[in-house]
């Protein structure tokens, strides 16, 4: 499977511009032969544009999610839309299973190459350190997975990387590819380089950590989108500029690594 990670240029509060760049990234990834393209966290307005969350939020069947789904089907490519800001009341009114009847969520949606919704993940661990996220958003409650080709895929989001037990729960569901949309800022560069790599090593799984490229009034994202193989070796990476990070993922590699180095068999629960 060929994976493309779109390290998008994100302009704070510019919903139309950010969606335009995301749609162009879908086109670009499809033209380069990717099977899947994944976006960063809160790419619709930028993670640190907290005052804009309520203004841009829509339900899962709203326009911004629909535009991504339609483009995925048009270009015959799976797309991880997200994350974006979801209006839970609108989703509930449309009949979707939601963690609360009202409020906002930090939500990733995985669409397949026919534009069908395959997975909805709402960020579980909400960041409170110098952030309004834990005041504005509702935590997710479910741990969905999806099958893409020969991979069992899960999504986690940014701060979730600091909670390895979450990844173990997904591991027990057979996950071998983690997609991690993020908005990771300076100065925590070493954390960004270490945590997704550690999640790959300890779970003997692929981990794709997709960051944005953006500067806000009081924060700048580190970029450095990176895809790690099951040994924790970087397969592809970027600097802090906008980029499309591409690599081939071998569906047999996870099983081979877990057989060669069977540490998961030694877990004591």
CATH code, 250: 3.60.110.10
| Paired tokens of 232 | 């924790």
Q: How many domains does the chain have?
A: 1
| Paired tokens of 174 | 């057979």
Per-residue pLDDT at 74: 98
Q: Is 235 a catalytic residue?
A: no
Contact (CB, 8 A) for 152 and 177: yes
Enclosing H/E stretch for 7: strand 2-7
What would the pLDDT profile of 107-121 be if each residue is shown by its tens digit? Answer: 999 999 999 999 999
What would the pLDDT profile of 46-104 be if each residue is shown by its tens digit? Answer: 999 999 999 999 999 999 999 999 999 999 999 999 899 999 999 999 999 999 999 99
Is residue 42 assigned to a domain?
Answer: yes
Q: Average pLDDT over the chain, rounded to whole?
A: 96
- The catalytically annotated residue of 5, 86, 133, 158 is 158
Is residue 269 assigned to a domain?
Answer: no
Query: What global pTM score does this model have?
Result: 0.97
Q: Is 5 a catalytic residue?
A: no
Structural domain range at position 52: 2-261
Is residue 268 assigned to a domain?
Answer: no
Q: Is 158 a catalytic residue?
A: yes
Per-residue pLDDT at 152: 98
């Amino acid at each position: 499977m060929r994976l493309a990670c779109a390290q998008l240029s994100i302009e704070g509060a510019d919903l139309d511009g950010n969606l335009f760049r995301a749609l162009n990234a879908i086109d670009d990834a499809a033209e380069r032969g990717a099977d899947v393209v994944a976006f960063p966290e809160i790419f619709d307005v930028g993670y640190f544009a907290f005052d804009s969350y309520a203004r841009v939020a829509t339900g899962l069947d709203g326009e911004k999610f629909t535009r991504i789904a339609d483009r995925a089907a048009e270009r015959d490519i799976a797309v991880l839309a997200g994350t974006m800001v979801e209006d839970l009341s609108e989703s509930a009114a449309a009949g979707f299973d939601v963690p609360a009847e009202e409020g906002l969520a930090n939500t990733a949606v995985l669409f397949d190459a026919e534009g069908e919704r395959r997975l909805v993940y709402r960020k579980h661990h909400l960041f409170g350190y110098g952030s309004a996220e834990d005041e504005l958003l509702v935590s997710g409650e479910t741990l969905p997975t999806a099958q893409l080709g020969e991979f069992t895929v899960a999504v986690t989001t940014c701060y979730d990387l600091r909670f390895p037990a979450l990844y173990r729960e997904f591991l027990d569901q057979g996950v071998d590819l983690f997609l991690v949309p993020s908005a990771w800022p300076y100065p925590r560069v070493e954390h960004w380089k270490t945590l997704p790599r550690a999640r790959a090593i300890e779970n003997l799984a692929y981990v794709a950590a997709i960051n944005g490229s953006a500067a806000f009034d009081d924060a700048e994202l580190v970029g450095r989108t990176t895809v790690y193989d099951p040994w924790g070796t970087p397969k592809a990476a970027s600097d802090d500029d906008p980029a499309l990070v591409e690599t081939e993922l071998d569906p047999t590699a996870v099983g081979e690594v877990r057989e060669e180095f069977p540490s998961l068999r030694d877990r004591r629960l």
